[in-house]
Structure 1
Amino acid sequence: MSNKILVVDDAAFMRLMLKNMLTKNGYEIVGEAENGQEAIEKYRALTPDLVTMDITMPVMEGVEAVRQIKSFDPDAKIIMCSAMGQQTMVVESLQAGARDFIVKPFQEERVLEAIRKVSGK
């Protein structure tokens, strides 16, 4: 089972919501990042099994972070997190290599379903 997850979102509240949802369902949060640049650095350092990646962030957007992570790890499993109305960016993210997406506000069952699907478990 893909247990080690890196949670990337510029909003601390969103990271906390996801972390609580995932840890109570048996997943381990190995790290957090507030922007795409930090996500890339943490990904290299922590080698998580899976990443939840916000789309809109300061410093570096999620789509670019996905491209860069996939450039050095083509097997990276990334799930995008988007607000309503970001369909164009979701499509870009999937083209960049993200495996799935979840929409905010997060619904626990949908989050878990995406993680199971992407991790193949």
Structure 2
Amino acid sequence: MQSGISSSGRPYTVIVAENSKFQSKQLQQILESEGYQVVGIAETGKELIDLYKKNKQVDLITIENFLPVMDGYAAFWELKDLGVIPRVLFISEENTPAVIKSLLDAGAMDYIVKPIKREKILEKVREIIQKIPKV
């Protein structure tokens, strides 16, 4: 069975926030190959916030820290201010230990430093989805 499908048969939904069209397409293909449903791709932190407001039931959000307009770090804090913290996985070129630690301490579920590797992405996404049962 594909890891992107819940036990009820519903696909888990994901928002991808990524500044590179190539990498957002790559992430979308990796996730959809396992049955996840990518409900939106945001190219800026502002687009991410708007997308989340329309898809509050989303199961997971992946965020690149280096987003234009509003970076991933600021977008993450804004998501937190909206109330419910969704499951957030950072997939970023940012590799500063202090930044990574502060995001994880603040509630991000995990952090992957690029380059994107299919198996690593799917393994982390599976772990995160299983870690927090949806209410």
Q: Give me the TM-score of the superposition, normalised by structure 2.
A: 0.82
Corresponding residue number in structure 2 for 1:16: 25
**Counterparts of residues 1-121 of structure 1 (less than 5 Å):** 1=6, 3-47=12-56, 48-83=58-93, 85-120=95-130
**CA distances 1:62-108 after superposition (whole Å, capped 9, x unpaired):** 11111111122333110001226333322232233211012211111
**CA distances 1:5-42 after superposition (whole Å, capped 9, x unpaired):** 00001110110010010000110000010011110110
Instruction: Write the distance in 2 (CA, Å) between the matches of 1:30 and 1:60.
Output: 20
Structure (1/2) with the larger helix percentage: 1
Corresponding letter in the other structure for 2:101: V
Contact kept? 1:100, 1:114, Cα under 8 Å? yes
What 5-or-longer segments of structure 1 have no aligned partner? none
Instruction: Write the distance in 2 (CA, Å) between the matches of 1:52 and 1:73.
Output: 18
Q: How much is the aligned-residue C-alpha RMSD, in angstroms?
A: 1.6
Q: Check 1:84–1:41 CA distance in 2 against 1; reply closer, same or farther (3 A cut).
A: closer
Aligned length: 121
Contact kept? 1:66, 1:96, Cα under 8 Å? no
What 5-or-longer segments of structure 2 have no aligned partner? 1-5
The list of structure 1 runs, each at least 4 consecutive aligned residues, that deviate by more than 4 angstroms after superposition, is none
Corresponding residue number in structure 1 for 2:3: none
